[in-house]
Amino acid sequence: MYGGGNTFEGIKTDEVAQEDPILLAVFEARIARGEKIEPTDWMPQLYRKQLIRMIEQHGHSEIIGALPEGTWITRAPGFKRKMALMAKVQDEVGHAQLLYSAAETLGKSREQMIDDLITGKSKYSNIFNYPTFTWADCCFISWLVDAGAIVNQLANAKGSYGPYCRALDRICAEESFHLKYGHHCVIYLASGTQKQRDMFQAALNRWWPPMMHFFGPSDKISVHTEMLMKWKVKMGTNDDMRNQFLDMYVPKIWELGFVIPDANLKKNEETGRWDYTEPDWEEFKRVINGGGPCNKERLEVRRIAEERGKWVREALKTPRTKYVMPLA
């Protein structure tokens, strides 16, 4: 799973102006032809920087995203759900490994990424700063947050950076299980007792606003990403991704008889796009900057894990091996 387009830095065009114009033209032509960029190819500094940032954030989102769901493993309703949830959480952590490896090919070490996550320098998907009160919250994540992630990931898999695309191809294949599993869980709640239906409806009410935030700020206010789109770092605007998600999943939520807590949500027949109440972007910013209900807990869990793993790393360390950049 993964949160899309959340925090790209503002583009400083003067940075690109300092690049060698001939190399830049060759680079852009290669992307325009649909070819992939590989780690040893020449690339503009800005491309490298933004990709590291994006892939790293994606990796962190997998690691942190495993926490709100992982907390329900011990309390999953029944052995089958427990097995499935364990497999899913294991997948998410595995995805982080693949993504960190892809980011490493751009020159940032894994250790540095882990440190930057713990100190709060790097971000992760905002949606995981909210708590999972009930089993239904966990089902919401498995089905709909993963669905949102898949919308982003399928788009990004067509991007320009070879190692990231290859990691995403693997990840998307595994995500199909998450999505089916999540939908299965929600169908069971929907067709269950009134109490089960109420439980999912309550989860939907809680998670809808963060879900709308998930794809990042509206195009009207988000930083200018034309260059990132041209370089196929970003494959669609935040609003396009949000719209695609609504197109695919609103009908499925309605089909189950649940009420989405936004009276303005409807498909605009003229524009073919969804109308909705503008999400509260101030809340989004507040949570990204550490003000959400679980920010502190998520990072502390990660930091304590790192501290507790220290003796293992200490015991295993050997001068015979050396950290080097991955090949591809």
Partner 1 sequence: MNSLDPRVTRLPHIGEVGKIVPKASLDQFGTYEVFVQPKEGKPFQHEGIVHAPNLELAYVLAKETFTRRFTCTSLYVTDTRDVFVSPLTEGDKNAYDQITPSVATAGIKKQFEIYHLSKRGKQHVHAGSVEASSPEEAMSAAKQKFNQGKIVFNIWAIETNNIRFTSPDEQELWLTLPDKKFRDAAEYKGGDKLKNFLEAQSKA
Token pair, residue 15, equals 């940075």
115 to 144, contacts with partner 1 by CB under 8 A?
A: 115, 118-120, 131-133
Nearer to partner 1, 10 or 78 (CB): 78
Q: Are 188 and 194 in contact (CB under 8 A)?
A: no
Q: ∠ CA 212-213-216 to the nearest 5 degrees?
A: 120
76 to 105, contacts with partner 1 by CB under 8 A?
A: 80, 83-84, 87, 90-91, 94, 97-98, 101, 104
Q: Per CB under 8 A, does 177 bind partner 1?
A: yes
Q: Per CB under 8 A, does 268 bind partner 1?
A: no
CA distance 175 to 171: 6
179 to 218, contacts with partner 1 by CB under 8 A?
A: 179-181, 183-184, 187-188, 190-191
Nearer to partner 1, 69 or 239 (CB): 69
Q: Per CB under 8 A, does 31 bind partner 1?
A: no
Among 11, 172, 250, 256, binds partner 1 (CB under 8 A): 256
Minimum gap (Å) between residue 105 Cβ and partner 1: 9
Among 16, 24, 28, 109, binds partner 1 (CB under 8 A): 109
H-helix or E-strand spanning residue 273: strand 273-275
Q: Are 210 and 281 in contact (CB under 8 A)?
A: no
CA distance 26 to 30: 6
Nearer to partner 1, 17 or 327 (CB): 327
Pairing type for strands 273-275 and 266-268 reads antiparallel
Q: Per CB under 8 A, does 311 bind partner 1?
A: no
Among 15, 20, 38, 198, binds partner 1 (CB under 8 A): 38
291 to 310, contacts with partner 1 by CB under 8 A?
A: 296-297, 299-301, 303-304, 306-308
Among 19, 30, 155, 260, binds partner 1 (CB under 8 A): 30
Long-range CB pairs of 170-177 (<8 Å, 24+ gap) are 170/98, 171/95, 171/98, 171/99, 174/91, 174/94, 174/95, 175/1, 175/91, 175/146, 175/149, 175/150, 176/150, 177/87, 177/88, 177/91
Residues in contact with partner 1, counted by CB under 8 A, come to a total of: 74
Q: Are 112 and 178 in contact (CB under 8 A)?
A: no
Select from 131, 156, 172 the least CA-distant residue to 57.
Answer: 156
Q: Per CB under 8 A, does 108 bind partner 1?
A: no
Minimum gap (Å) between residue 300 Cβ and partner 1: 6
Residue 128, CA distances (Å) to 151, 186, 188 in order: 18, 19, 24
252 phi and psi, to 5 degrees?
-70, -35
Of 225-233, 234-242, 251-259, 274-282, the segment contacting partner 1 by CB under 8 A is 251-259
Token pair, residue 148, equals 């949102």
Nearer to partner 1, 101 or 222 (CB): 101
Nearer to partner 1, 184 or 267 (CB): 184
Q: Are 178 and 128 in contact (CB under 8 A)?
A: no
Minimum gap (Å) between residue 251 Cβ and partner 1: 13
Minimum gap (Å) between residue 106 Cβ and partner 1: 13
